[in-house]
Structure formats: structure tokens, C-alpha cells
């Protein structure tokens, strides 16, 4: 079992992945602009952490379509606002 820079146990298979984790956390906590690059390096170093598709951001243009059968919790526009 590997430990992070703060002495906490982390579940990773290699020392390289543990170092990449510390590098990522340091970048995140110090608000570094290269934090996404650090995350990529961690994912490449630790193949057990999951694929990149598991950690992608949600699409910002997601919409519920009538065909999906899902109900929206947003009220529709009043009729006068649509004319």
C-alpha cells in the first residue's frame, strides 16, 4: 500500500502513480492551470483507476427530448411569452 504526501493510504499499484497523485493534488490545491494535464498523467500512470471516459465532464448542451420519456422539472413558458 502506498501513502500520499500527507501520510494517508491510497489505493494505487505503483509508486509512479502515487507520485502522480500527489502532483495532481498539489496542482488542484494551489489552483494550477495545468491541473487537467496532471490528471491525465495520473490516469496514464495508474491503469487501475479507470478509463478516461469514466471521468469526463458532462455535456453542457444536454437536453431532455420528448422522445426520451423523461419529465422536465422546469415549467414551460407561458403561451404569451412564446408569441
Q: What is the pLDDT of residue 23?
A: 93
Domain holding 32, by residue range, is 2-82
| Coil, strand or helix at 2 | strand
Tell me the per-residue pLDDT of 8-57, one tens digit each, with 9 for 90 and over: 888 887 888 889 999 999 999 999 999 999 999 888 887 655 544 444 55
Residues 64, 59, 17: CA angle, nearest 5 degrees: 140
Q: For residue 62, is pLDDT > 60?
A: no
How many domains are contained in the chain? 1
Using pLDDT thresholds of 50, 70 and 90, give the confidence band for residue 61.
low
- Name the helix (H) or strand (E) containing 45: helix 35-45
Q: What is the pLDDT of residue 51?
A: 47
Amino acid at each position: 500500500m502506498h501513502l500520499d504526501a500527507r501520510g494517508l493510504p491510497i489505493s494505487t499499484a505503483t509508486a509512479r502513480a502515487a507520485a502522480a497523485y500527489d502532483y495532481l493534488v498539489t496542482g488542484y490545491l494551489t489552483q494550477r492551470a495545468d491541473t487537467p494535464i496532471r490528471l491525465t498523467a495520473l490516469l496514464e500512470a495508474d491503469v487501475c483507476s479507470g478509463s478516461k471516459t469514466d471521468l469526463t465532464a458532462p455535456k453542457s448542451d444536454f437536453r431532455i427530448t420528448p422522445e426520451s420519456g423523461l419529465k422536465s422539472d422546469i415549467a414551460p413558458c407561458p403561451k404569451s411569452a412564446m408569441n
